[in-house]
Amino acid sequence: MKPAPFAYRRPGSLPEALAALAGEPNAKVLAGGQSLVPLLSMRLAAPTLLVDINAVPGLDTIEVVEGGSTGRDPGVTVGALARHTDVLAHEDARRVQPLLGMALSHVAHATIRNRGTTVGSIVHADAAAEMPVVLKLLGGHVEAEGPAGRRRIAAHDLYLGPLESSLHHDEIAVSAFFPALAPRAGVAFDEIARRHGDYALCGVAALVRLVDEPGSGTVAEARAGYLSVAEVPSVVDLTAELAGGVTDAALAAAGERALAALDPADDIHATAAYRAQLVRVLTSRVLRSAFDHAVARSS
Ligand code: FAD
């Protein structure tokens, strides 16, 4: 199919882009086009105006702040035009927050990662995408610019429903901030897809932090984020299940706890029962890996 007719503008500055959006309630931002263009072609979206932000300068940066180096929060700030590939190739970003590299290698295929943006994926709010879950699990945020100025939207408040974010139609997400991995913490990611690069049938990201005592393997915090098993990117707190020790029984209990919180559904790709089993298996596997990562970083 061909898209419905639309107007196209390619502003050369952020204020011009915001003005273009403000003047047309049915306008859409175009970043990498890797989600929007297929939706246009299938006529699942029919905006009257595309505001292409690819000529806006200064949005393609990736900034890394190391722990303790400045007064700023340590972490990785990814600009709206940084492609998945740029983030994946950024050694400092991967070192400061290793979950970025772990998850991004599962996002689509290389050709799509070369064009698709990480911020675009985050605001597109697809519950089957990796980066919204990563941002939410880490407690990150998005910086949005709009007619009323700049505002910060915590990932926790970003996801309202399937493909629906709390970003206003006349706002542009200029960056996303991923907090650095804390000392004595570990992360892990795994997913099951029919083929590598396909959207996952189920994916899990985990964060485990050990108590602040040298040599201790006691868990102070354990959380897991889930893709493709709920209507929105979802994070479940599993600290209670692991606080008494990371045993097979505790990991299995964490899987059951996550399943009760998520309630996966059937669709054309997998049955609810199969997804439930993936939640159990991946929760246990990924939490164990995140715990091992935390132990290795602490020794
Ligand atoms: P666009 O397509 O340009 O925009 C997507 C939406 O976000 C639009 O509504 C647009 O208006 C809005 N938007 C984008 N940027 C901004 C901004 N800065 N401010 C405000 N609104 C904005 N993704 C995965 O996560 N995992 C996968 O496994 C995966 N597989 C894929 C397989 C295929 C075959 C394809 C075509 C895509 C796949 N993707 C996958 C999607 C890919 O990751 C996209 O890059 C991403 O979803 C959107 O980024 P984009 O820059 O292309 O956004």
Does position 252 have pLDDT exceeding 90, yes or no? yes
Binding site membership of 29 for ligand 1 (Cβ less than 6 Å): yes
Average pLDDT over residues 201-209: 98
The ligand 1 atom at the shortest distance from the C-alpha of residue 200 is 28
User: Does residue 74 share a domain with residue 28?
Assistant: yes
Last residue of a domain, one of 122, 156, 181: 181
User: Does residue 272 share a domain with residue 233?
Assistant: yes
* Cβ-defined contacts of 22-26 (< 8 Å, 24+): 22/147, 22/170, 24/48, 24/49, 25/169, 25/170
Per-residue pLDDT tens for 46-80? 999 999 999 999 999 999 999 866 788 999 999 99
Domain that holds residue 275: 185-298
User: Does residue 172 share a domain with residue 207?
Assistant: no
Average pLDDT over residues 230-257: 97
User: Does residue 155 share a domain with residue 62?
Assistant: yes
- Give the C-alpha separation, 229 to 287, whole Å: 17
Per-residue pLDDT tens for 156-179? 999 999 999 999 999 999 999 999
Kindly give the distance from the C-alpha atom of residue 224 to the centroid of ligand 1, in angstroms, as a whole number.
23
User: Does residue 206 share a domain with residue 150?
Assistant: no
Kindly give the distance from the C-alpha atom of residue 125 to the centroid of ligand 1, in angstroms, as a whole number.
9
The pLDDT score that the predictor gives to residue 69 is 62
Sign of CA dihedral 199, 109, 104, 59: negative
Total structural domains within the chain: 2
Contact residues for 157 (Cβ-Cβ < 8 A; gap 6+): 166
**199 closest CA partner among 109, 124, 67:** 109
Binding site membership of 28 for ligand 1 (Cβ less than 6 Å): yes
Last residue of a domain, one of 181, 206, 228: 181
